[in-house]
């Protein structure tokens, strides 16, 4: 397996896990936007879990794809204002 694929998969897994840790939902509870934020978080967490499953089964390509998709859900949520993130983070581009 190419070393760069393994390194990139490791990096994207950690990036997604870190992003899930710091992204905080901001819409008021019981609103459609709060539901959208929760949906984005659930999808991101599900893709993190899927990626780890693929990794355990020696499938780094699908693991990397899962981590990337999960990160995309969170990044979209940040761009739409569904999540607040620390100002000093480099996990997201705003």
Of 87, 90, 77, nearest in space to 25 by CA: 77
> What pLDDT is recorded for position 46?
98
> For the chain, how big is the Rg over CA atoms in Å?
14
pTM: 0.89
How far is Cα 39 from Cα 78, in angstroms, rounded to an integer? 13
Computed over every residue of the chain, the mean pLDDT equals 92
CATH architecture of 3-84: Up-down Bundle (1.20)
The reported pLDDT for the residue numbered 93 is 64
Two tokens at 20? Answer: 């899930």
In angstroms, the CA 38 to CA 92 distance is 18
Q: How far is CA 91 from CA 31, 33, 53, 71, in A?
A: 27, 22, 23, 10
Look at residue 7 and tell me whether its pLDDT is greater than 90.
yes
């Amino acid at each position: 397996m190419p070393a760069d694929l393994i390194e990139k998969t490791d990096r994207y897994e950690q990036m997604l896990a870190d992003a899930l840790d710091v992204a905080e939902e901001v819409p008021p509870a019981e609103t459609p936007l709060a539901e959208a934020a929760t949906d984005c978080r659930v999808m991101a967490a599900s893709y993190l879990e899927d990626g780890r499953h693929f990794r355990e089964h020696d499938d780094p390509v699908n693991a990397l794809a899962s981590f990337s998709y999960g990160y995309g859900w969170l990044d979209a949520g940040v761009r739409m204002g569904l999540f607040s993130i620390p100002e000093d983070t480099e996990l997201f581009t705003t």
